[in-house]
Chains A and B, each alone.
Chain A
Amino acid sequence: MISAGIDIGSITAKCVILQGDKILAYSILRVKPNLEESAREIFEKTLELAGLSKEEVDSIVATGYGRGRVDFANKKITEISCHAIGSHFLIPDVGTVIDIGGQDSKVIAVENGKVLDFVMNDKCAAGTGRFIEVMANALGLKIEQIGELALRATERLKISSTCTVFAESEVVSYLSAGKKVEEIIAGVCDAIAGRLIAMASRVGIRREVVLTGGVAKNLGVRRAIEEKIGFGVKVPPEPQIVGALGAAVLGSG
């Protein structure tokens, strides 16, 4: 049985091809405005990596906010369920999943891979990957550099605006006040973690806590979350594909 999971998020498209409990291949691409095209592209690329043809794939499950646009999928499931299942597949004793994507962040209470409860952030970008991207842009940094830089800071500045647009001007004014970039960045990561933990307290935080989504790769955010909850979190080797993995697991029956 070979199954594929396709996660069309607000920023990236992800695909995982699974056989039994073995990941044959995966890939991540930035989404294009045409979601159907993004879905086909990510699927074909991953097939190529796995050395498979379309016909060899038995089931395709779509997830992510563009799930309705994957016309060749057999089934669509929300990313809430998929992140829970994907996390459970990798870390069986997961109790809480924190998925920080580009547009949404979600906290999901899980038991044996089943969703008990969940909360999502509101439509604004504060507390999401987009927020960090805007701040990185304002500082002229690449998104991949952010985490390491934040860890180097000895002091953290406070970013108190809840709105992305205002927070950006806060960052700019810190810059003009001559503050160090890493201290500002550490403040940005702290702000993200703070919002998440406030949200998470609505469903409760139970061990193990698994971080998923692209922002889980940001070491600054990870550290800030760990400090706030008081214990270590688990991050899968490629946290950004956990939703797609969950979809593939669901498709495998």
Chain B
Amino acid sequence: MKVGYLCTFTPKEIIYSAGFQPFRVFATERPIELASAYIQSYSCSQARGALECALKDDFYAFVFTRCCDTLMRLTDIFEFAGKRVYNIEFPTKIGNVEYYLRELKDFVEVLRDWGGEVSFESLVESLKLYRELEEGLKQLFSVFPDYETAIKVQQIDVKDAIKLVDEKLKSAKKEKESPKVLITGSVCPYPKIYDLFREAGFSIKDDLCTGSRFFEYIYPTFEPEDLEGALRFIAEKYFYKSPCPTKHYESDRRFEYVIKLAEDCDAVVFLLVKFCEPHFFDYPQLKSELEKMGKKVALIELEFPVVSTEQIRTRIEALREVIL
């Protein structure tokens, strides 16, 4: 049974260990029809597209983790629309592991109510599988950033996902090194958009939830010995995951992270979903930091489903011409 989730901070390992299929919900190619009864057209189209999926497709339940304001309110809307929903209070301010551990314990109880038992063994196995997937994707991306695969693996069984990444890795051809563009933003579930960058002559690096933010972690170094230990491992794994603008970090981790990624790039594209507040709030400051580094910066706004790719193509090709 599918359990839908939206944010990369969701502990999918726990969902999987309880016998459910974690399924990352993205906006699709389908036009937004039913969702318009619940959400205005001037809000994030990833949220609108996800609701459209929830209303049309078959899910057992949905798990949210505290993220941007829109996703928080989406939790209410899903509930209002009669869906089975659970919201994990992921701390906005990163640091307090004990607090988040309690949240995760509650979540285990919720899964039990849904008919899924989480044991120490099943959770360790699930952690192992997802780590294998993450390491595989990291390897694949170091040869060729394959967004189609990175998106697909979030919607299938992790064991099949590992096999898929393995196959892709075998046939992957190294991308030429330059000019390189860093694409930063939240989600872009349409592989054709990444192709536009390649067709314009760019090689790609990303800071996206549909790319490296799905598999970039700094793993805790301890071996869990019991269920609580495994949950603690997950709490720490997600605290030290690639940072996102919806979270507050002690230091300036988010900016430092993006700036580091940009170092070997010729240009940075902010590929932002219209009305995505957390990313747009950061945009002016981050843009000026990047420009100080001598990077060419461009903003491309998307609305899902993406229809006019030719306008996007012109922006990308023009950026390529500017850095020539």
Residue of B nearest to A79 (CB): B314
Q: Are A65 and B301 in contact (CB under 8 A)?
A: no
Number of interface residues of B (CB under 8 A): 12
Asked whether B322 is an interface residue with its Cβ less than 8 Å from the other chain, the reply is yes
- Of residues 55 through 103 on chain A, the ones whose CB sits less than 8 Å from some CB of chain B are 65, 77-81
Q: Does B103 contact A (CB under 8 A)?
A: no
Flag if A118 contacts B318 (CB, 8 Å): yes
Q: Is the CB of A78 within 8 A of B311?
A: no
B77 to chain A, nearest CB (A): 25
When distances are taken between beta carbons in the complex, the residues of chain B under 8 Å from A123 are 303, 307-308, 311
Bound complex: CA A35 to CA B308 (Å): 17
CB under 8 Å from chain A, chain B span 39-71:
none
Closest to B324 in A: A81
- Are B321 and A115 interface neighbours, CB within 8 A? yes
Q: Provide the bound-state CA to CA distance between A225 and B301, in Å.
A: 26
**Chain B residue nearest in CB terms to A114:** B322
**Which A residues are CB-close (under 8 A) to B303?**
123
Dominant secondary structure at the A interface? mixed
A172 proximal to B (CB < 8 A)? no
B315 pairs with A120, CB closer than 8 A:
yes
Any A CB within 8 A of the CB of B266? no
Task: List the A residue with the shortest CB-CB distance to B274.
Answer: A122
- Between A77, A78, A81, the greatest number of chain B beta carbons within 10 A of the residue's beta carbon is seen for A78
A118 to B297, CA, bound (A): 10
User: Are B301 and A78 in contact (CB-based, < 8 A)?
Assistant: no
Cβ-defined partner of B317 (8 Å) among A78, A116, A117: A78
In B278-324, the 8 Å CB interface with A consists of: 301, 303, 307-308, 310-311, 314-315, 317-318, 321-322
Question: Is there a chain B Cβ closer than 8 Å to A104's Cβ?
Answer: yes
Which residues of chain B (136-181) have a CB below 8 Å from chain A? none
Q: How far is the CA of A77 from the CA of B320 in the complex (A)?
A: 10
A80 pairs with B308, CB closer than 8 A: no
Report chain A residues within 8 Å CB of B317.
78
> Which residue from chain A places its CB closest to the CB of B322 in the assembled complex?
A115
Q: From B301, B307, B310, B321, give the contact of A80 (CB < 8 A).
A: B321
Q: How far is the CB of B217 from chain A (nearest CB, A)?
A: 36
B157 to chain A, nearest CB (A): 38
Q: How many residues of A contact B (CB 8 A)?
A: 14
Task: Point out the residues of chain B lying under 8 angstroms from A117, CB to CB.
Answer: 322
In the complex, which residues of chain A have a beta carbon less than 8 angstroms from the beta carbon of B311? 65, 104, 120, 123
Q: What's the nearest-Cβ distance from chain B to residue A137, in Å?
A: 23
Contact between chains at B318 and A78 (CB < 8 Å)? yes
Cα–Cα distance between A117 and B317 once the two chains are bound (Å): 13
Closest to B310 in A: A65
Q: How far is the CA of A80 from the CA of B298 in the complex (A)?
A: 13
Are A78 and B310 neighbours in the complex by a CB distance under 8 Å? Answer: no
Mark contacts of B70-92 with chain A using CB atoms, 8 A cut-off: 1 yes-contact digit, 0 otherwise.
00000000000000000000000
Chain B residues, CB < 8 A from A115: 318, 321-322
Q: Which residues of A contact B315 (CB under 8 A)?
A: 120
CB of B309 to closest CB in A, whole Å: 10
Q: Closest chain A residue to B312 by CB distance?
A: A123
Complexed CA–CA distance, A118 and B315 (Å): 9
A78 neighbours in B (Cβ, 8 Å): 314, 317-318, 321
Known contacts A81-B322, A118-B318; 9 further A-B pairs (Cβ under 8 A): A65-B310, A79-B314, A80-B314, A81-B318, A104-B311, A104-B314, A115-B318, A117-B322, A118-B322
Instruction: Show 29 residue pairs from A and B whose CB-CB distance is below 8 angstroms, ordered by the A residue.
Output: A65-B310, A65-B311, A65-B314, A77-B321, A78-B314, A78-B317, A78-B318, A78-B321, A79-B314, A80-B318, A80-B321, A80-B322, A81-B318, A81-B321, A81-B322, A104-B311, A104-B314, A115-B318, A115-B322, A116-B322, A118-B318, A120-B311, A120-B314, A120-B315, A122-B301, A123-B303, A123-B307, A123-B308, A123-B311
The 7 closest A-B pairs by CB, nearest first: A80-B318, A78-B318, A123-B308, A81-B321, A78-B317, A115-B322, A78-B314
